[in-house]
Chain A
Amino acid sequence: MIPHKSLFTASFLLAVVLAVPHQVRAGQPMEFMQQKVKAVLTVLAEPKTDSGGTRRIERLRSLSQEIFDFIELSRRTLGRHWNRLTKEQRKEFTFLFSRLLEKTYLDRIQEYSKERVEFNDEILFTEKRAEVKTSIVQSSKRIPISYRLLKKEKGWRVYDVQVEGVSLVKNYRTQFASILSRNAPEKLLQMMRDKVQVGIQADGE
């Protein structure tokens, strides 16, 4: 058994050592995420006035367009089923899916706005594919959130988000695949229309 006292000291020394490289390693994808997360938090920090409320949503929406590649997200999520959709259906799917994500994540992110976001690591799989690991630090809890990015003509764009090890794309993929294995794409679109519609009504209190 190692004496606790030395472990105690060692752990503090470790903290000092670990604290340094975390800030040094920031490449392009991480800088991109840092900038975007900061922008989102800035919008969220603004007061929620009635007239400002709609503007806030619009600004978050345009930010989400800069952060996410919704078409890529949609393709990944449908996987091979993507090919079964007509071009029009793909357009609609992309739109509805972005609305569905927005509805959920805007709610979630507003709750997180008081917390601190840490940028922990960046992994470059290839020149064009990267992962940025972040965590949201709450009192006594760290929620790991990592972003998967692809480099496009317009720059880096997020195509998947993992919260506590749960990939958004994979989670929806399972659901969509099970629906599409039994139904035509139109049925899935109808379910999504209903879902998004419910959300719009609930938001417009």
Chain B
Amino acid sequence: MPDTEPRFAAEDEEKLTQEMVEPVPFSEGISAEGVDEGVPETRDVTDEEFAEFEELEMDYAEDVVQVSDPLEPFNRAMFTFNDRLYFWALKPAAQGYNTIVHEKIRRGFRNFFQNLVFPVRFVNNVLQGKFHQAGLETDRFIINSTVGLAGFADVASRHEELTLPPEDTGQTLGSYGIGTGFYIVWPVFGPSTVRDSVGMVGDFFLNPASYFPDSTSTISKSFDKFNSTSLSLGEYESLKEASLDPYSALKDAYIQNRKSLIED
């Protein structure tokens, strides 16, 4: 649309095109002037700049959570197993499923299962002393179970305060100050840590689907997982595509994400 045009001055457009469009040669690809800013040795760095650089470095140095990986060979093998499972079985099946079942219906199923695991979120909010959030989760469950037709429609999410960050047992343990333990990649379930694996056991007992009779329990949980996968095709691919070492990238993303969920 033409209304964005005035934001680029003519010389900017030219300069930017020069910088980015030609992939080779590299030396011409990026103006030397620009890179010089980032090269401390080529000019005097002010104390202020140095302090800023150090501050940011500290920020990252502190924040990088060190989670040990003594099982790395096993974990890498499991990573490969899960990767193949995804590309060879889960993804083609989900693609077929997507052509048959409309996205709205698949979203409905996902909402249904999310609503069903309300006890996991409620109990863990309470265990973390988040009573207000526990109350909001209850409101959400009541609204979605009734107006939302047994949870198929997530009507509560129309209200901003009723879309809450998910809570689980692993987060509760983390909020109690229990360390992550080492990193584990489970077949099928994927990335985890010792703490989060213990958390998964807690979540199992809090999940109503675990109490369904006989095989219906496993079937409904597998269907939930499959259905969720069908709604997030492409996410794993882009993570893999963007990384130089997909195993480390996924491990780090998992650890960072869990950490942020515990801190919220």
Contact = CB atoms under 8 A, between A and B. Distances in A.
B30 A165 contact: no
Given A62-B17, A91-B35, A140-B111, 6 more contacts: A58-B21, A61-B21, A140-B157, A164-B260, A166-B256, A175-B244
Contacts of B1: 42, 45-46
Interface in B1-41: 1, 3-4, 7-8, 12-13, 16-17, 19-21, 23, 26-27, 29-30, 32, 34-35, 37-39
Contacts of A179: 244-245
A100 B7 CA distance: 26
A71 B245 contact: no
Contacts of B4: 39, 42-43, 59
A129 B52 CA distance: 9
Query: What range describes how many residues of B lie at the interface?
Result: 35 or more
A160 B52 CA distance: 15
Given A42-B4, A165-B260, A65 B20 contact: yes
B237 to A, nearest CB: 9
A164 B35 CA distance: 30
B111 A128 contact: no
B245 A140 contact: no
B139 A62 contact: no
B23 A88 contact: no
Q: Main SS of the interface on chain B?
A: helix
Contacts of A200: 23
A65 B7 CA distance: 13
**A174, A188, A199 pick with most chain B CB within 10 angstroms:** A174
Interface of B: 1, 3-4, 7-8, 12-13, 16-17, 19-21, 23, 26-27, 29-30, 32, 34-35, 37-39, 42, 52, 56-57, 60-61, 63-64, 107, 110-111, 114, 135-136, 138-139, 142, 154, 157, 159-163, 234, 238, 241-245, 248-249, 251-253, 256-257, 259-261
Given A46-B1, A79-B60, A87-B39, A111 B234 contact: yes
Nearest to B237: A107
A94 B249 contact: no
13 contacts: A11-B139, A42-B4, A61-B21, A62-B13, A62-B17, A65-B20, A71-B35, A71-B38, A72-B38, A101-B242, A150-B52, A166-B260, A167-B256
Interface in A93-142: 94-95, 98-101, 103-104, 107-108, 111, 128-129, 139-142
B243 A18 contact: no
B168 to A, nearest CB: 15
Query: What range describes how many residues of A lie at the interface?
Result: 35 or more
A183 B112 CA distance: 49
Interface in A157-205: 162, 164-167, 169-176, 178-179, 188, 191-192, 195-196, 199-200
B21 A170 contact: no
B157 A139 contact: yes
